[in-house]
Amino acid sequence: MVTSAPRFSQQTFLLVRARYDATVPSPLAATSGVDWSQIHAVRLLGVALAALFLLWAIRRMFGGKK
């Protein structure tokens, strides 16, 4: 049985992925002296607080404390 060639080769995929990879830091970010672990911790705290606020609003809307 003969199968057709894949539409995109693995080499093309790897080239595209390397071009748009968001994990590659820019030279400016590497020299800025920013502690990215603290930035991510604050972002995670903000997401957690937003989720708590959303849950509170939903409970209030559907018969919580009146």
Residues 4-46: pLDDT tens digits? 665 655 555 555 555 555 665 566 556 678 888 999 999 999 9
Q: How far is CA 18 from CA 1, 10, 26, in A?
A: 35, 12, 14
What region does 33 belong to: left with phi over 0, alpha with psi -120 to 50, or beta?
A: left
Residue with tokens 């057709």: 4
pTM exceeds 0.85, yes or no: no
Domain residue limits, the chain: 34-66
pLDDT at 3 over 60: yes
CA-derived radius of gyration, the chain: 23
The whole-number pLDDT of residue 42 equals: 95
